[in-house]
Amino acid sequence: DVIDIRELGKHKHFTYDPGFLATAACESKITYIDGDAGVLQYRGYPIEQLAENSSFLEVAYLLIKGELPSKAELDNWTYHITHHTMVHDQMNRFFSGFRRDAHPMAIMVAVVGALSSFYHDSLDINNPKHREISAIRLIAKVPTLAAMSYKYSIGQPFMYPRNEYSYSANFLHMMFGVPCAEYQPDPILVRAIDRILILHADHEQNASTSTVRLAGSSGANPFACIAAGIASLWGPAHGGANEACLTMLEEIGSVDRIPEYIRRAKDKNDPFRLMGFGHRVYKNFDPRAKIMRETAHEVLGHLGAENSELMKVAMELERIALQDDYFVEKKLYPNVDFYSGIIMKAMGIPVSMFTVMFAMARTTGWVAQWMEMIAEPSQKIGRPRQLYTGEKHREYQSIDKRK
């Protein structure tokens, strides 16, 4: 049931809903979730079918334009994304200002926001052509910046994007290629990256997407809005969970230590939570997790890493949590980040880059949501209300009279 607060009379009523457990902030035609039934659809298409049959760029087109592309439309879209992957050479100087041990998410917040200082020709948000070129620039350049933030941290030269590669193959090339040797992206790993990107591309009004919409509702430029989304995604309760999950698996270290962590997760006096378990919306199972689980077995099998200690810990944790009364009662299922972290670790992507990968994928969803909002004629600036619980009226006292 939906109560439309506007019908109750402007400014006379407002809801108190911290955490937005039951408040819709907008209408949207992009992503549909039924958390109880474990359903996720982009523009009406089930996520399972898209993950099985689509490429990431096809899904990006669908999210942004609303329809699956024809062959000619997809070719044209791919051409434009591919030919915008380079960043301005001046951008290299931004990187040298960061400490080598800076977290890549800290770098991403800064450099994605900085894109707005390079593209003055696309900042008029009321011009649909400007919105379109900004969308293309963001989707094309975020992977380049992501790979640059990694290369910078390990002291290797930046790798220029290569137009003959697919979106995901190009990302692997920019991450793992070096100028002195040929690097051939492994098709199984390319497919796994594509799947990770597809599954993380949009998830309706989560914290980071809502942040992008709220920032954008004031008319801020899209690069600044996406930088705000990246900042919001970084937290461990949101996109930072994949990193936190892997760190936890490594800390557990061996199967015999699992009971101790299960006990801690149930102890209400201990702030510890089992990272990679539970979801605000999916209270049955996370449909993305099911697909990621299959991909995890495929990738680890391909790389011969299925019997690694990390994988043993992960599988045992999954087994125990799925049977344990506490986790079953509270409907705490492994979420998509539980498996995506395992896959990325096996591929050699450093843990600190996990949330950056999430940001790369979600950039498409953020952009689609931002475009939908800006195109809406009745769009208003987002302005939540509050319940004021502080002091009411007090008389000012000069400092010599205060206690």
Taking CB under 6 A as the rule, does residue 144 contact ligand ACO?
A: no
- Look up 393 and say whether it is catalytic: no
Structure tokens at 341: 């972290």
Taking CB under 6 A as the rule, does residue 330 contact ligand ACO?
A: yes
Give the binding range for ligand ACO (CB under 6 A) out of 31-39, 84-92, 164-172, 274-282: 274-282
Instruction: Classify 40 as helix, strand or coil.
Output: strand
Structure tokens at 41: 């659809």
Taking CB under 6 A as the rule, does residue 105 contact ligand ACO?
A: no
User: Which one of residues 238, 293, 345, 362 is an interface residue with ligand ACO (CB under 6 A)?
Assistant: 238
Taking CB under 6 A as the rule, does residue 354 contact ligand ACO?
A: no
Taking CB under 6 A as the rule, does residue 195 contact ligand ACO?
A: no
Give the binding range for ligand ACO (CB under 6 A) out of 118-126, 233-241, 346-354, 374-382: 233-241
Instruction: Classify 334 as helix, strand or coil.
Output: strand
Taking CB under 6 A as the rule, does residue 359 contact ligand ACO?
A: no
Taking CB under 6 A as the rule, does residue 274 contact ligand ACO?
A: yes
Residues 6 or more apart whose Cβ sits within 8 Å of residue 174: 143, 144, 147, 148, 151, 158, 159, 160, 161
Size of the site for ligand ACO (CB under 6 A): 18
Best CA proximity match to 97, nearest among 113, 85, 111:
111
For the CB of residue 364, give the shortest distance to ligand ACO in the complex, in Å: 15
User: Would you say 148 or 356 has its CB closer to ligand ACO?
Assistant: 356
- Look up 267 and say whether it is catalytic: no
User: Which one of residues 197, 212, 215, 275 is an interface residue with ligand ACO (CB under 6 A)?
Assistant: 275
Taking CB under 6 A as the rule, does residue 332 contact ligand ACO?
A: yes
For the CB of residue 146, give the shortest distance to ligand ACO in the complex, in Å: 18
Structure tokens at 61: 């087109």
Structure tokens at 189: 């790993």
Core vs surface per residue 339-377: b (16+ CB within 10 A) or e: bbbbbbbbbebbbbbbbbbbbbbbbbbbbbbbbbbbeee
Q: Which residues on neighbouring strands pair with residue 39, listed in sequence order?
A: 34
Instruction: Classify 354 as helix, strand or coil.
Output: helix
Q: Which residues bind ligand ACO (CB under 6 A)?
A: 237-239, 241, 265, 273-280, 330, 332, 335-337
